[in-house]
Amino acid sequence: MIKPIGSDELMPLFVYDTDEHDALSKEAEGLPSVTISSAAAGNAVMMGGGYFTPLTGYMTVADAMSVAETMQTTSGQFFPVPVLNLVESADGIEVGAKIALRDPNVDGNPVIAVQTVESIETVTDAQMATMTDKVYRTDDMEHPGVNAFNTVGRTAISGPIQVLNFSYFSTEFPDTFRTAVEIRNEISEHGWKKVVAFQTRNPMHLAHEELCHMAMDRLNCDGLVIHMLLGKLKPGDIPAPVRDAAIRKMVEVYFPANSAMVTGYGFDMLYAGPREAVLHAYFRQNMGATHFIIGRDHAGVGDYYGAFDAQTIFDDIPAGAMDIEMFMADHTAWSKKLNKVVMMREVDDHQKDDFVLLSGTKVREMLANGEAPPKEFSRPEVAKILIDYYQSL
């Protein structure tokens, strides 16, 4: 199986030993504590599950700045985005001490992790501006990722963590949430050698489904891992439980048995376009995928990124940083001429009117009115689930 990045073995930071877990949980209740941001909690979940191997905790400002500018820490370890624990205040917290990190997304703010504090630093306006520019390519506070990053505080607490739980993801999505450890184990149990991963934060329409089939066929893959984001999204995006149900129905009806795994991960969407595409590829290698589909406007939002910036950025990553291979895809749509879904760049004789193309706004309007999109756009079984959701609003 493909090796994790920067390590021979996956390095999950979750405390799996029962006795050690119990002891640390009891110790945490007596430690100074801070309620962290939703983004930091998501990072803890990802580190806990091994997705961010070989990171051992939250970065220093120097490492975060280096990662923003070069996609490498100061020691040369490849990582595509800063992983910071930014808080409003570190009053009562001392360097060298342990602190309890409390989860902002669960009632009662239980302890999600214990951190050993290696440094407490104030991030300057200039440093925040540099990281924002390098990662998001914009400083527009209307950008949901920029806004989230710049509104959680300027005090960075760095140091290694030990993770005690996986927040609400393991309880609200018990059939879908999987750690990188678990996905690697499932891939191994299937006996899959060549595995392609598909990222989604939306329900999958027919074009997405067919793109997965294309990738599996062209790469001669043994299996597909549909890996959906389960964390926070921008207003208007479809909630994770609805996406989950729609995707499961699609796989059940339209994929051969045991050819596709439906899984999810606990992380808030960054909407960072190219940089987030690299992060997506990074943790897909760590979960055991050998290939990863990068589509048009991958992880983008609005008009902040070019249609294929998330593909060309892979020309700029440090040599040898990742072993996972990219399946670079164009926009896919139903061809009226060929009566099937095609990649638009592969049909030179087509004009725009030769494709079935619907805007997101139009699709949402149809669903809200109880009207299924055409079968060339969406499977009827999927459309029904989405119609039920929109009509319940």
Query: How far apart are the C-alpha atoms of 92 and 112, rounded to whole Å?
Result: 19
Over residues 24-28, the mean pLDDT reads 98
Model pLDDT, residue 119: 98
Q: What is the pLDDT of residues 222-257, one digit of tens each?
A: 999 999 999 988 777 888 889 999 999 999 999 999
**Phi-psi group of 78: left, alpha or beta (phi > 0 → left; psi -120 to 50 → alpha; rest → beta):** beta
Model pLDDT, residue 237: 81
Q: What is the pLDDT of residues 341-393, one digit of tens each?
A: 999 999 999 999 999 998 888 998 999 999 999 999 999 999 999 999 999 98
Question: DSSP letters of 309-369?
Answer: HHHHGGGSSPTTS---EEEE---EEEETTTTEEEEGGG-TT--GGGEE---HHHHHHHHHT
User: Which of 96, 101, 124 is closest to 111 using CA atoms?
Assistant: 101
Q: What is the mean pLDDT of the chain?
A: 96
Neighbours of 164 (CB within 10 A): 21
Model pLDDT, residue 281: 98
User: How far, rounded to the nearest angstrom, does the alpha carbon of residue 95 sit from its chain's CA centroid?
Assistant: 31
Over residues 188-214, the mean pLDDT reads 96
Model pLDDT, residue 240: 87
Amino acid at site 322: M
Please tell me whether residue 284 adopts helix, strand or coil conformation: helix
User: How far, rounded to the nearest angstrom, does the alpha carbon of residue 14 sit from its chain's CA centroid?
Assistant: 19
Bridge pairing between strands 111-116 and 119-122: unpaired
Least confident of 190-194, 214-218, 222-226, 296-300: 296-300
What are the residue ranges of helices labelled H in the chain? 18-28, 38-48, 61-70, 125-136, 144-149, 169-172, 180-190, 206-219, 240-254, 274-286, 309-312, 360-368, 380-392
Domains of the chain: 18-170 (3.10.400.10), 175-392 (3.40.50.620)
Over residues 10-36, the mean pLDDT reads 98
Catalytic residues: 201-202
Tokens 């100074």 -> residue: 32
Over residues 124-149, the mean pLDDT reads 97
Q: What is the pLDDT of residues 76-121, one digit of tens each?
A: 999 999 999 999 999 999 999 999 999 999 999 999 999 999 999 9
Tell me the longest C-alpha to C-alpha distance in the chain: 69
Over residues 7-15, the mean pLDDT reads 97
Is pLDDT above 90 for 36?
yes
Model pLDDT, residue 177: 97
Rg (alpha carbons) of the chain, rounded to whole number: 21
Q: What is the pLDDT of residues 63-75, one digit of tens each?
A: 999 999 999 999 9
Query: How far apart are the C-alpha atoms of 306 and 136, rounded to whole Å?
Result: 13
The residues pairing with 196 across neighbouring beta strands, listed in sequence order, are 224, 291
Cβ(58)–Cβ(43) under 8 Å?
A: yes
Residues present in the chain in total? 393
The model's confidence at residue 58, banded by pLDDT at 50, 70 and 90, is very high
Over residues 53-65, the mean pLDDT reads 98
The model's confidence at residue 142, banded by pLDDT at 50, 70 and 90, is very high
